[in-house]
């Protein structure tokens, strides 16, 4: 075995999942994360189909996810008065297991903290490769040397920017922005959610942590705004401008937004790249093939990708050239299929006109009675299962 010392950028989902499998195969992972601690909050993510469940089962964390699952039921679209006008089935949103992103991050951290070095509150500033390794500098920490560097740092990957070029070359803006934060469950939602849709806007609430709190979620249509991703005050101002006087619970949630401990705001986009590796640097999860939050595929795709990347590194005895090529060969078609689940969803979820919003509300009202009512969920499951996973466990070093 060679190239055992691996730096991973990003401690959300893909990074810790990769660290878990690298350790199992005899590698030594280090994770650097810009945030000062694990990020709590975030939206609910789901896993569906045998490929996702197989990876969770082989990691030994499926039971942990089962215990932390949201248990969400249907989602109701409501009118301005809060009266339900249409219901969408749970399987369309929640898959086989739905869990809050923060809870998933905690489970993955607990599964890796005893054998992975975590460096919080720091970020990579340069990557310089030579024939035998990679010299890495950081914002705060001293320079270090690693054998390989893996970028698992999301849609706006810093690793991708340093190793491959500017974000604009790879990120496709889907015409939407999203905000989400924790709030009081003042509607008394019981394992369900309400969504209110107007032209170019959608605001929703759904219960969380077994109804003890709720998540507020906003989507609005817009071309790329060029906002500073760390300027929370400006982000909240933009959201208030978009939704003030929008109706239903919009104004109350905008008020509560100011006090949220976990406010998150970002553009909705996909990542498309011709290759996911360059020399001793490779990308994983959203950094390489983000399907967008609208697809419902991001976390499952990240976990499968981490399993395959670590497995191929083990199978190649640490030969990164061979392993990175096989990783892409195994994952490319699967990632493309998952990305297709996000195509076109933006216009359906946040219609650009009042007439289209009204039409979709009427359509969702009758959808449960139509012959193809289960087609969207079936398509999502088919995409999630469209990979034959190699069993790398015989390579694992226990």
Chain-centroid distance of CA 332 in Å reads 18
CA 178 – CA 146 distance, rounded (Å): 36
Asked whether residue 372 is domain-assigned, the answer is: no
CB-neighbour burial class of residue 45 (10 A; exposed 0-12, middle 13-18, buried 19+): buried
User: With bands split at pLDDT 50, 70 and 90, how would you rate the model's confidence at 398?
Assistant: very low
Q: Are 219 and 177 in contact (CB under 8 A)?
A: yes
pLDDT tens-digit readout, 200-247: 999 999 998 889 999 999 999 999 998 988 899 999 999 999 999 999
- Assess if residue 12 is contained within a domain: yes
Helix axis angle for 49-59 and 375-384, nearest 10°, is 50
**Residue 294 in domain:** yes
Buried b / exposed e across 223-243, counting CB within 10 Å, b at 16+? eeeeeeeeeeeebbebbeebb
- Give, in order, the Cα–Cα distances in Å from 167 to each of 269, 272, 373, 391: 11, 11, 38, 34
Mean pLDDT throughout 301-321? 96
Residue 168 tokens, joined: 């604009």
* Range with the poorest average pLDDT among 29-33, 91-95, 126-130, 275-279: 91-95
What Rg do the C-alpha atoms of the chain give, in angstroms? Answer: 21
pLDDT band for position 347 (cuts 50, 70, 90) = low
When divided into structural domains, the chain yields a total of 1
pLDDT score recorded for residue 371: 61
State residue 339's pLDDT score. Answer: 87
Q: Is the pLDDT of residue 376 over 70?
A: no
Q: 365 in a domain, yes or no?
A: no
pLDDT at 35: 93
Is 217 inside a domain boundary?
A: yes
CATH of the domain at 156: 3.50.50.60
| Residue 1 clears pLDDT 80, i.e. is over it | yes
pLDDT at residue 60, as a whole number: 94
The answer to whether position 168 is within a domain reads: yes
In a domain, 360, yes or no: no
Q: What is the pTM of this model?
A: 0.91
**Confidence category of residue 270, pLDDT binned at 50, 70, 90:** very high
Q: Is the pLDDT of residue 323 over 90?
A: yes
Range of the domain at 141: 5-349+377-395
241 lies in some domain: yes
Per-residue pLDDT, 370: 59
Do residues 11 and 120 lie in contact, with contact meaning Cβ atoms separated by under 8 Å?
yes
User: What is the distance between the alpha carbons of residues 272 and 25, in angstroms, rounded to a whole number?
Assistant: 29
């Amino acid at each position: 075995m060679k190239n055992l010392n691996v730096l991973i950028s990003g401690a959300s989902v893909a990074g810790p999942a990769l660290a878990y499998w690298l350790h199992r195969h005899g590698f030594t992972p280090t994770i650097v994360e810009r945030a000062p601690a694990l990020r709590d909050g975030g939206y609910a993510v789901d896993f569906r189909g045998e490929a996702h469940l197989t990876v969770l089962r082989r990691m030994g964390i499926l039971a942990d996810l089962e215990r932390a699952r949201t248990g969400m039921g249907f989602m109701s679209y409501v009118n301005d008065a809060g009266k339900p006008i249409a219901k969408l089935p749970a399987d369309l949103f929640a898959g086989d297991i739905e869990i809050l992103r923060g809870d998933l991050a905690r489970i993955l951290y607990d599964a890796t903290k005893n054998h992975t070095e975590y460096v919080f509150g720091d970020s990579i500033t340069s990557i310089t490769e030579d024939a035998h390794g990679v010299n890495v500098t950081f914002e705060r920490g001293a320079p270090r040397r690693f054998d390989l560097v893996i970028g698992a740092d999301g849609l706006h990957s810093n690793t991708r920017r340093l190793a491959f070029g500017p974000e604009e070359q790879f990120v496709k803006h889907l015409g939407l922005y999203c905000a989400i934060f924790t709030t009081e469950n003042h509607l008394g939602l019981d394992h369900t959610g309400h969504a209110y849709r107007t032209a170019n806007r959608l605001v929703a609430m759904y219960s969380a942590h077994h109804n003890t709190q709720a998540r507020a979620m906003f989507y609005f249509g817009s071309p790329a705004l060029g906002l500073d991703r760390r300027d929370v005050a400006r982000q909240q101002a933009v959201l208030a401008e978009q939704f003030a006087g929008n109706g239903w619970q919009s104004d109350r949630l905008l008020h509560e937004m100011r006090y949220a401990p976990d406010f998150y705001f970002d553009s909705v986009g996909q990542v498309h790249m011709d290759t996911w590796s360059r020399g001793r640097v490779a990308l994983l999860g959203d950094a390489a093939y983000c399907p967008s939050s609208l697809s419902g595929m991001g976390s499952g795709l990240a976990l499968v990708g981490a399993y395959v990347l670590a497995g191929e590194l083990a199978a190649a005895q640490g030969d990164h050239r061979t392993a990175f090529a096989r990783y892409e060969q195994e994952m490319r078609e699967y990632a493309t299929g998952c990305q297709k689940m996000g195509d076109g969803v933006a216009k359906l979820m946040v219609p650009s006109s009042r007439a289209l919003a009204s039409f979709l509300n009427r359509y969702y009202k009758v959808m449960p009675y139509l012959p193809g009512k289960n087609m969207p969920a079936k398509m999502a499951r088919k995409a999630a299962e469209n990979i034959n996973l190699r069993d790398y466990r015989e390579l694992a070093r226990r």
